[in-house]
Structure 1
Amino acid sequence: MTISTSGLHHVTAIAGDPQRNADFYLRTLGLRMVKTTVNFDDPGTYHLYYGDEVGRPGTLMTFFPFHGAPPGKHGNGQATATAFSVPEQSIGWWQRHLNEAGVEVSRVQNREGEDALTFQDPDGLVLSLVAHPHPDPRAPWDNGVVPAEHGIRGLHSVTLSVDSEEDTAEMLGGMGITFSGQEGNRLRFAAGSGGPGAFVDVVVRPGAERGLVASGTVHHVAWRAPDESTQAAWRSELVDSGVSVTSVLDRQYFRSIYFREPGGTLLEIATDEPGFTADEPLLELGRALKLPPWLEPNREQIEATLPRLDLPSENNPERLAS
């Protein structure tokens, strides 16, 4: 393929209780709720977007929280870990902060020259905080809960678990995500010039049990396309190469196409445009339930179905208005 991605756009996972999910990602991890909406394919379920102040591509973690969802199973054929980027000097602070929040966290581990902490969210989703040796230029969301000097800068990487790496590596290479190193059975690939937000690790585990996508697991991994024309050209190239790809879907804040990589993980190519201020101003991001035009006539029914969700005041501090 002739079109390449510049890095991760977002990661979407399945959760259980939406209030518990929001409390963890807003208060414990210090992200911002940049959009409160619904799963467009199942509008009786929230779709919650967390990211930086604006919800820039590459900072986004999103969830479909299903009340009573059964636990998933981590295994081959899925993304088994999601990592966020933090400053190099902040690992100790995060270790203390997570312990104080009652989160069981690993010892500091070093992979690919980067220190990392690994833990799980309340639904069992595997997360890491990774300190890249070079400064991450992305600005954190300064919400007063997590000090800005320690704040999450955005996504760092995802980990895919596969039986065999050859076909997965070939597809990644065709997306401009190229091999950059290996430690044991862990292969690192990087989009563009690499760096936090552009990495994907592929862990090879021949014959390991297959995963089951449900609560506490990743649903899909999205990669960036700058605009709709690039996405359309990319879709044509995928189809021409024999990949089964969805039609272009309107996700209101970006346009999407979906397909599976040979190892089994569902991938998405999402446009950078139009972004999360398309239907509400920056200062009010995430406060109100936003619906796309085709679901707006059903607002009363949808709101009656969804559980109540309370956002902490830190999601929109008054100082932003000054």
Structure 2
Amino acid sequence: MTPLINGLHHVTALASDAQRNVDFYVGILGLRMVKKTVNFDAPDVYHLYYGDETGSPGTILTFFPYAGLQRGRKGGGQLTYTAFSIPTASLSYWMDRLTQFNIPFAGPYRRFDENYLRFEDYDGMGVELVATAQDTRPGWDNGKIPVEYAVRGFHTVSLNEFNIDRTVALLTNPMQHTLVAEENGVFRFQVGAGGPGNFVDVVHTPKDVRALQGAGSVHHVAFATDSDDSQLEIREQLLSTGYQPTGVLDRQYFHSIYYREPGGILFEIATNPPGFAVDEAVDSLGTSLKLPEWYEPRRAKIEAELPALVTEEK
């Protein structure tokens, strides 16, 4: 049976300053700003989306930047590191680039036969770059970072858990993931076609401190599904195993349901369609502020209250 979930869709996190967030992810990591919109529940706050050229599922990192938000704390019950794939020959390039921009990093380390670097963004969010030959997705040619070194998309996400048993049961039963490797208390699961963009690492950290949410914290991780019908089927499977997912919510660029896994991390199932080209052409993604129709009458006030952003690569 074809899995209803086919990998990671997006990761959404919190930040303290919108411009510094753009400077890091567009300017240093070379991701594309694929959508500039607002938090649908708080339109005085941006919702910034970064990804590949088209904002493909499995490449999308998004942020709610709340000005002056206190920094969070990594710990148990949290997605602690979001890892991106890079080509195997690009590791030294990225070490030099991080050094150039005074971003401290650790590594290269080795995990599951792949080398990776570990560092934090300006708010302390955990980021990794994993050098792998498995990822055949094209990098975005932004004219600044050579395409042969460019970030490809997500590799994996790391979930720190005090107790892994119920989380593993969730991943392997209604969410259709398969355990593919274990090393030093890290349990790697994959779904769909497998490989980068389809991995979830469950990290057993029974002595960890409890995570505190704030700037630099991941708010939720979304898993991809192909259609509204497959999303509803997953929802029924979650209900049948004792979970209480929300109803379907329209997020303009995808439809979503949300629920908490046993360790407390917020999960989402997001549809792959309709995608980010529904309200602007691919070649102009992220260049103007996009609002849902119910906020259009308030556009002038919303634009006046949001800080201006410069989105150039460095």
**Match in the other structure for 1:147:** 146
**Match in the other structure for 1:254:** 254
Q: CA separation in 2, counterparts of 1:63 and 1:244? A: 25
Q: CA separation in 1, counterparts of 2:207 and 2:23? A: 37
**Match in the other structure for 1:272:** 272
Instruction: Work out the number of aligned pairs and report it.
Output: 313
Q: CA separation in 1, counterparts of 2:69 and 2:94? A: 29
Deviation at 1:114, TM superposition (A): 0.6
| Kept in 2: contact 1:3–1:234 (CA 8 A) | no
Amino acid in the other structure paired with 2:307 = P
**Match in the other structure for 2:28:** 28
Q: Which has the higher mean CA deviation after the structures are superposed, 17-26 or 176-185?
A: 176-185
Amino acid in the other structure paired with 2:142 = N
Using the size of structure 1 for normalisation, the TM-score is: 0.94
Deviation at 1:122, TM superposition (A): 0.6
Deviations 1:151-204 (A, max 9, x none): 000000000000111100000012111111111111111112321001111111
**Match in the other structure for 1:319:** none
Q: CA separation in 1, counterparts of 2:107 and 2:172? A: 33
**Match in the other structure for 2:70:** 70
Q: CA separation in 2, counterparts of 1:29 and 1:89? A: 16
Deviation at 1:238, TM superposition (A): 1.2
**Match in the other structure for 2:135:** 136
Q: CA separation in 1, counterparts of 2:223 and 2:74? A: 22
Q: CA separation in 2, counterparts of 1:212 and 1:3? A: 33
Q: CA separation in 2, counterparts of 1:310 and 1:89? A: 31
| Kept in 1: contact 2:19–2:310 (CA 8 A) | yes
SS of residue in 1 equivalent to 2:89: helix
Using the size of structure 2 for normalisation, the TM-score is: 0.97
Whether 2:213 is the aligned partner of 1:213: answer: yes
Deviations 1:277-301 (A, max 9, x none): 0001111100100001111112122
Point out 4+ residue stretches in structure 1 off by more than 3 angstroms: 1-4
What's the % identity of the aligned pairs?
50
Deviation at 1:2, TM superposition (A): 8.7
**Match in the other structure for 2:182:** 182
SS of residue in 1 equivalent to 2:5: coil
**Match in the other structure for 1:170:** 169
Amino acid in the other structure paired with 1:153 = R
Q: CA separation in 2, counterparts of 1:272 and 1:118? A: 29
Deviation at 1:106, TM superposition (A): 0.8
Unmatched 5+ stretches in structure 1: 316-322
